[in-house]
Amino acid sequence: MKEFAPGKINLALRVGKRRADGFHDVDMVMQSISLADTITLEEAPTLTLTIDSSALPCDERNLAYQAALVFEKWTKIKPAVHIHIQKRIYLAAGLAGGSADAAGVLRILNRYYGKPLSRGQLEEAAAEIGSDVPFCIAGGTQRALGRGELMRPLPPSPTLWMVLAKPAALGVSTAEVYRALDGVKDRKETDTDACVAALEHHDTKALLSALNNDLEAVTLEKVPFLVALKEAMLRLGAEKAMMSGSGPTVFGLVKDEETACRLKEKLRETFSQDLLLDVACTEEEYYG
């Protein structure tokens, strides 16, 4: 049995105050993209997990493994399966790779065992694992509130083609970025409502104008190379360039796949630094 686990970008990300539980209130527009991990499942004597990346643990430290334990907690079904994850989503990149895998494990286990959990129950279970996991259950285009676990479906984004770029050796700690943001005074917050209105009116031009990310300035200050990367994307033909999540992945939006492929090659020629580069597009809701 096979399941795809798409990554995400943020079309809008507003960060509010830190809450008593240590999380921040957020107001985000989250969007699935075609860059995805692949999860396969087969019958086994006990639960085991393997990943084609030696950089990731295959035990309780991994969100995907935690997802299997949460599934058991919610259903009282002890998974006797082997799960393998083929990684394509970059690690520590602001693309929700770990959350996507956790959601994918919940979905594939739910299918394998006859769908004992509804979509709503899957999203509730997902919230126990991490803030981005509920979004990754169904994906598509959604507004996320609370700490990110409260979802409201939005009209699908127009098909947006993009180039994703991440310095290969660079990872960013989400917690550190949020802590740094707490120290910024008198900052202007993202207008998530403007992004939502553009989606509701199917206005691509307004959508591109509304894209914004409160975390971007903090990460760009820590990693000046990302400023050069954004500027290069715009100079080489991107209509908009922005960081996803806490970074350090930057995406450059273009009009079509052909233009995206050309931009990808131009970026590869421009930078001697080892960059992870992929062409991707937005994806509609995929829960089934």
Residue boundaries of the structural domains of the chain: 2-153, 161-281
14-23, 111-120, 259-268: the lowest-pLDDT one: 14-23
Nearest to 134 by CA among 247, 36, 260, 8: 8
| Confidence tier at 173 by pLDDT (50, 70, 90) | confident
User: Rounded to 5 degrees, what angle do the CA atoms 63, 69, 71 make?
Assistant: 100
Cα–Cα distance for residue pair 113/111, rounded to 1 Å:
6
Domains 2-153 and 161-281 share a fold: no
Q: List % helix, strand, coil for the chain (3-state, nearest 5).
A: 35, 30, 35
Tens of pLDDT, residues 20-48: 888 899 999 999 999 999 999 999 999 99
Q: Residue holding tokens 């796949």?
A: 257
Cα–Cα distance for residue pair 275/261, rounded to 1 Å:
15
Tens of pLDDT, residues 134-171: 999 999 999 999 988 899 999 999 999 999 999 998 88
**8 Å CB contact between 75 and 106:** no
Please tell me whether the peptide bond between 248 and the residue prior to it is cis, using omega within 30 degrees of 0: yes
Averaged pLDDT of the chain: 95
Average pLDDT over residues 169-185: 87
Q: Which two tokens stand for residue 183?
A: 């120290």
**Segment holding 33, helix H or strand E:** strand 24-43
Q: Please determine, for residue 179, whether its predicted confidence score (pLDDT) is greater than 70.
A: yes
The DSSP call for residue 38 is E
Q: Which two tokens stand for residue 234?
A: 């715009």
Cα–Cα distance for residue pair 192/207, rounded to 1 Å:
11
Q: What is the pLDDT of residue 288?
A: 60
Alpha-carbon Rg of the chain, whole angstroms?
A: 19
Q: What is the pLDDT of residue 218?
A: 93
Amino acid at 230: K
Tell me the sheet residues that pair with 269: none
Q: Which two tokens stand for residue 29?
A: 């527009």
Strand 275-281, strand 150-153: pairing: unpaired
Structural fold of domain 161-281: Alpha-Beta Plaits (3.30.70)
Amino acid at 198: A
Tens of pLDDT, residues 213-270: 999 999 999 999 999 999 999 999 999 999 999 999 999 999 999 999 999 999 999 9
Q: Which two tokens stand for residue 102?
A: 């956790």
Contacts by residues 267-271 (CB-CB < 8 Å, ≥ 24 positions apart): 267/163, 267/165, 267/229, 267/232, 267/233, 267/236, 270/232, 270/236, 271/229, 271/232
Q: What is the pLDDT of residue 74?
A: 99
| Confidence tier at 17 by pLDDT (50, 70, 90) | confident
Q: Which two tokens stand for residue 221?
A: 């200050």
Average pLDDT over residues 97-108: 98
Cα–Cα distance for residue pair 139/3, rounded to 1 Å:
14
Amino acid at 76: K
Catalytic (active-site) positions: 8, 132
Structural fold of domain 2-153: Ribosomal Protein S5; domain 2 (3.30.230)
**8 Å CB contact between 26 and 178:** no
**8 Å CB contact between 12 and 210:** yes
